[in-house]
């Protein structure tokens, strides 16, 4: 444990994000796991007064348990940097890069990580042009998703041309820039990455959906409703595919400059290499989330993982104080 006898820890959750409800589910589980290790534990809601609240509380470290923008996109991290409060998770730049799916793909492409073909369309150009551009460049079998959102909000799997208009309307209702990717058939897999203390991948998880959800994919309900998805550990992949998922997840973590923990998602076609989808710098920590299951499969207790994350942040704070 840290050199502080009773460090004050601030958990930050909620806010105006469309994923605020998920954030509060995650923080409830984190709070329950940490309260016995850190009695001076506080939960703060992300509001315009968060700076005042943090100044009043004067925590030794902060643990942002935030999903989607604002919070997972480098904004709260920037505030914490200005206030000189050490925090769990990736820094400003890595958080901002990973939140932007297009920038993430552009960076990883240079490192040889397989990616789906894509294009970006803008709300201001209109839905008709978005449909025409998609059909001309990628065809009708695509995945349409907001450029900088998580939890599959606004995401649609499109298999027919007449489904494109509705999918674009849904995506544009969430964000003005929309990423369109060629659909990659196969198994959906995910790899959690921890610095424990060196960067390591946890067991690869295969996500299996019930029959009625396979056409729409691993969406919000499947992620957060108990029984709507099955986590198969280890994933049923070839040894080669499994090892590539691990390697690509760690490579993405390092290329983006991530810290502490993250989760990378893939589609794995039959007899082909995995295709990278996206990376989450603050993965879900709810009772139905993937990282806790991966940690358990690796023989790591959820409490121990969280304590290790807090201790890493406390150590960074100690180093800052010694150098100031």
Give the list of residues 6+ apart from residue 187 with CB closer than 8 angstroms, or none. Answer: 206, 207, 235, 236, 237, 267, 268
DSSP secondary-structure letter at 133?
Answer: H
Does 313 sit behind a cis peptide bond, omega within 30 degrees of 0 on the bond before it?
no
Catalytic residue of the set 72, 206, 265, 293: 265
pLDDT of residue 218: 44
Q: Give the chain's residues under pLDDT 50.
A: 218-219
Distance of alpha carbon 230 from its chain centroid, rounded? 19
Beta bridge partners of 201: 193
User: Active-site residue 263, yes or no?
Assistant: yes
User: Active-site residue 265, yes or no?
Assistant: yes
- Between CA 85 and CA 199, with CA 99 as vertex, the angle to 5 degrees is 65
pLDDT of residue 313: 97
Give the chain's length.
324
pLDDT of residue 1: 58
What is the C-alpha separation between 120 and 118, in angstroms, rounded? 7
Residue 103 three-state SS: helix
| Helix, strand, coil percentages in the chain from 3-state DSSP, rounded to 5 | 40, 20, 40
User: Active-site residue 273, yes or no?
Assistant: no
Catalytic residue of the set 218, 224, 242, 248: 224
User: Active-site residue 212, yes or no?
Assistant: no
Q: Where are the domains of the chain?
A: 98-113+185-297, 118-182
User: Active-site residue 284, yes or no?
Assistant: yes
Give the list of residues 6+ apart from residue 287 with CB closer than 8 angstroms, or none. Answer: 25, 29, 226
Q: Which fold has domain 118-182?
A: Dna Ligase; domain 1 (3.30.1490)
pLDDT of residue 220: 56
DSSP secondary-structure letter at 15?
Answer: S
User: Active-site residue 280, yes or no?
Assistant: yes
Catalytic residue of the set 89, 150, 284, 317: 284
Catalytic residue of the set 152, 156, 280, 289: 280
Q: Which fold has domain 98-113+185-297?
A: D-amino Acid Aminotransferase; Chain A, domain 1 (3.30.470)
Catalytic residue of the set 148, 151, 192, 289: 151
Catalytic residue of the set 14, 17, 19, 90: 19
The model's pTM is 0.91
Beta bridge partners of 195: 199
């Amino acid at each position: 444990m840290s050199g502080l006898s009773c460090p004050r820890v601030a958990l930050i959750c909620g806010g105006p994000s469309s994923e605020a409800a998920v954030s509060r589910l995650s923080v409830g589980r984190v709070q329950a796991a940490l309260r016995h290790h850190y009695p001076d534990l506080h939960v703060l809601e992300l509001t315009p007064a968060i700076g005042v609240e943090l100044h009043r509380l004067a925590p030794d470290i902060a643990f942002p348990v935030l999903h989607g923008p604002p919070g997972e996109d480098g904004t709260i991290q920037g505030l914490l940097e200005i206030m000189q409060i050490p925090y769990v998770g990736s820094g400003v730049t890595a958080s901002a890069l990973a939140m932007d799916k297009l920038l993430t793909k552009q960076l990883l492409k240079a490192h040889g990580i397989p990616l789906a073909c894509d294009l970006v369309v803008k709300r201001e150009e209109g839905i008709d042009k978005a449909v025409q551009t998609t059909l001309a460049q990628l065809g009708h079998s695509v995945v349409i998703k907001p450029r900088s959102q998580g939890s599959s909000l606004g995401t649609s799997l499109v298999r027919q041309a007449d489904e494109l208009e509705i999918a674009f309307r849904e995506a544009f209702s969430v964000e003005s820039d929309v990423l369109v990717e060629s659909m990659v058939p196969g198994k959906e897999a995910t790899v959690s990455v921890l610095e424990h203390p060196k960067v390591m991948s946890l067991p690869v998880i295969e996500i299996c959906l019930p029959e009625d959800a396979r056409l729409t994919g691993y969406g919000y309900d499947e992620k957060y409703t108990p029984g709507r998805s099955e986590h198969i550990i280890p994933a049923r992949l070839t040894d080669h595919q499994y090892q590539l998922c691990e390697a690509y997840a760690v490579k993405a973590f390092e290329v983006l400059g991530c810290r502490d923990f993250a989760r990378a998602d893939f589609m794995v076609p039959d007899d082909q290499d995995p295709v990278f989808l996206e990376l989450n710098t603050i993965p879900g920590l709810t009772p139905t989330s993937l990282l806790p299951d991966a940690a358990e499969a690796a023989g790591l207790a959820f409490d121990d993982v969280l304590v290790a994350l807090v201790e890493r942040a406390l150590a960074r704070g100690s180093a800052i104080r010694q150098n100031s």
